[in-house]
Structure formats: structure tokens, C-alpha cells
Amino acid sequence: MRWRALLLAAALAGCATTTSPTGRTQYVGAVSQAQLQALGSQAFAEQKASLRLAPPAQQQYVACVTNALVARLPASWRQLPWETAVFINDEPNAFALPGGKVGVYTGIFRVAHDQDELAAVIAHEIGHVIARHHEERITRQLGAAGVVQLLGALAGDYSQLATEGGSLLAQTGFLLPNSRAQEREADVVGQQLMAEAGFDPRAAVTLWRNMAALGDARPPRWLSTHPDPVSRLRELQGRADGLLPVMAQARQDGFIPRCR
């Protein structure tokens, strides 16, 4: 157990504050970027092993949109080994994990009707990654015991971790609801990113209108901490108008997505 104590001490010693893309103070550093990316990759592999994959045409479509977005990321994020997977699941959901892993459920095609609306979904999820929201959540929410378990998994104790607490996704909290502050931040970052990639930023508005009109008796659990739909649509619309010149410049520069 001594190695766990040493890992915990090292992790907590590395905790620090940083500033988010929208100016929030974030507490990060409970795990290193290398460890965080390893956790994301391991959790993604777990998803691929446990869920059915969609047909190749949908895989290629999602990969095309994701690659167009990744091409406009800063170099430090672009160099990650980005990977996509589409899973057969009726829930209109998507996620992105540290390490450059993007997962989409086939249910998202019920609300994302074209490449621009799909880009709004994926860019939002990538926004969580590049705004370091996963690292922030691990640092602030899991606490000391959680850090020990996570570092234990990376040190080769994954079998015990799985036995004690279920999947690595559950242990990391990667798929738990984000805070409203993080959701707003991912909206800002994602909408900017999609415009820079040549996607229409107004599609973020139509996407959320489609989501609101879906009419499911039980909304996706990941919407539980999202901002109020009315104010969210107002904010998305306000930014969209200001981002139209960004989209136009991107297309003039040759960034013209053609994903079908």
C-alpha cells in the first residue's frame, strides 16, 4: 500500500489553479496529462469492447466531421491520437474523452440532421476536453480516495479496480453530468471551433431546438445540468451571428467541410 500513498502524495502536490477559456479559475493537476490521456484511452477501449458498433458509413461520417474540427485545434491538441467510434444506442448522446477519443451514439442522428448540426455536437464535446473539464472534475470531485484508485489503475491494478467499483468510466466520472459552468464553456469553445472549421455556427441553435422538440418522456441524463434551454438558445444565437465572419474566412481559406 506504500506505493499508493506515494502516488497520492505526488498527485496532490501537483494540484494547481489555472484559468479556463472563459476566465474561470480551475483546480487541476490531480493527475498528469499523460495519466489523464491514458485513462481516457482505457475507458474508450472499454466502451468499444462492451457496445455494438454502427455500420461503416456512419463511422466514416462521424470521423469526417471530427477530423475537420480537429484540423483547426491548436497544435498541442491536434497531435493527440484522435479516434472516433459510433455506437448503436438510441440515446441522443455523444462524448469526448482525454486522449482524443470521440464517441457518438446513433440516437444523435435523430437531432443532428446534417454535418453542421453534428459538428455542433462533436465540437461541444471536444470543447470539454480542450477546456480541461475532465481534469477539473477529477481534481475537485473524486477526492483523495478517487485519486488513489485512478493512479492504482494506471499502475497495473485495473483488475482490482474493476472488481471493487465497476467500469473505469464510472470510476473516473468521465460520463457524469458536467456543471452548468462547464456546459456553457463547452458551448462557447465548441461554437467557435465549428466556425473556424467552416461549419455553420447557427447549426448549434437548430441542434438544440431539435433536441427540445424531440419530446422524449425522459431527456438524456447528460442534459440534467445543462443551462436553461431558453437562455442557452439565446446565447448560442447571439454568438452565431458574430461567428459568421469566422466561418466565411475559414471557407475562404479552404476549410470547407464535405461530410455526408
Residues with a known catalytic role:
125
Beta strands in 20-69 (DSSP E): 25-28
Query: Could you tell me if 72 and 196 are in contact, meaning their C-beta atoms sit under 8 angstroms apart?
Result: yes
What stretch of H or E contains 193?
A: helix 180-196
**Sign of dihedral through CA atoms 10, 131, 76, 38?**
positive
User: b or e along 224-238 (b: 16 or more beta carbons within 10 Å of the residue's beta carbon)?
Assistant: eebbeeeebbebbee
As a whole number of angstroms, the distance between CA 4 and CA 11 comes to 10
User: b or e along 5-35 (b: 16 or more beta carbons within 10 Å of the residue's beta carbon)?
Assistant: eebbeebeeeeeeeebeeeeebebbbbeeeb
**Sign of dihedral through CA atoms 158, 160, 162, 164?**
negative
As a whole number of angstroms, the distance between CA 107 and CA 87 comes to 9
As a whole number of angstroms, the distance between CA 36 and CA 27 comes to 15
